[in-house]
Amino acid sequence: MRLLGKLWDGLVYLLLWAGGLTMLVPFFWMVATSLKAPGSVFDLPVELWPRELHLENYHRVLTAVPFGRWYLNSLIVALGLTFLNLTSGAMGGYAFARFRFRGQGALFLLFLATLMIPVHVLIIPLFILMRNLGWVDTYYALILPGLFDAFAIFLMRQHFLQLPRELEEAAIVDGATPWQIYWRVALPLAAPALATLGTFTFLAGWNSFLWPLIVTNSLEMRTLTVGLAVFQGQFSTEWTVLMAGLTLGTLPPILVFLLAQRYFIQGLTLGSLKG
């Protein structure tokens, strides 16, 4: 019986490993294709890994479209969203955790209720708003709507509630203003929560698609996801080039994830289990 159990466990682990490696096949296929000779991808039998590596696909994707600019846009948008979200989220969360004011409960509930509103209800009027402001095709439109995020406020509030009040009270006794207390005492202590929220927002920003698709229309203002999606037709005869672009575009989120895995996972599980 013991032996049977061990065998069963071994089989399960083997299956999980096999499944995990199977998950990598599409990534492997992406990189392999990006290194094949242009135009050779439909040759039969199919080469799993190219015998000669063709790096010119990478050169071509960098020159055929404003790939560098798209890359930069994605970086600016992801970082901008992260910065805004952390700033407003931490400040809002602090207000809800530490201040008492009239209508506080109702306002918090109203903020939380926006989590129920799916993004698709917002995009049409938001687009109209952006156009009336003359912000279509600018970084303002791409970044500024990230100013409010109920989830960020909720997460930061939870964190500030857990901070011992005594730390701030000591600062009050020393005559610090609320802003000084927030900036010098509470915020530095919130570093782990900020890292969680930051990793999460950066990845979401880098990967976002629907809003950047709607609110940009010039070649120069596209983010990487939108650029590749819109221009896939141009590449559909050049799969090697498209896969080179995808490889380059997939690299940053995967790197960020591998470096900050702990924070990312915290954000996910916190958001889903307590949210």
Near another protein in 185-244, by CB under 8 A: 203, 206-210, 213-214, 225-226, 228-229, 232, 239, 242-243
Distance CA 259, CA 256 (A): 5
Examine residue 14 and tell whether it contacts another protein (CB under 8 A). no
Task: Find the binder of another protein among 6, 7, 9, 237 (CB under 8 A).
Answer: 9
Q: How many chain residues are in contact with another protein, going by CB under 8 A?
A: 95
Report 53-72 residues binding another protein (CB under 8 A). Answer: none
Binding characters for another protein, 137-176, by CB under 8 A (x = yes) = -------xxxxxx---x------------------x----
* Nearer to another protein among residue 62 and residue 253 (C-beta): 253
Smallest gap from residue 54 Cβ to another protein (A): 16
Smallest gap from residue 125 Cβ to another protein (A): 4
Task: Find the binder of another protein among 3, 106, 118, 166 (CB under 8 A).
Answer: 118
Distance CA 186, CA 97 (A): 11
* Nearer to another protein among residue 62 and residue 144 (C-beta): 144
Smallest gap from residue 191 Cβ to another protein (A): 19
Contact 256, 199 (CB under 8 A): yes
Smallest gap from residue 158 Cβ to another protein (A): 15
Distance CA 275, CA 266 (A): 12
Binding characters for another protein, 16-55, by CB under 8 A (x = yes) = xx-xxx-xxxxx-xx--x-------xx-x-x---------
Report 77-106 residues binding another protein (CB under 8 A). Answer: 84, 87-89, 91-92, 94-95, 98-101
* Nearer to another protein among residue 53 and residue 254 (C-beta): 254
State how far Cα 80 lies from the chain centre: 12
Residue 145: Cβ within 10 Å count: 19
Report 245-274 residues binding another protein (CB under 8 A). Answer: 246, 249-250, 253-254, 256-258, 261, 264-265, 268-269, 272-273
Q: Identify the residue whose tokens are 């994707």.
A: 61
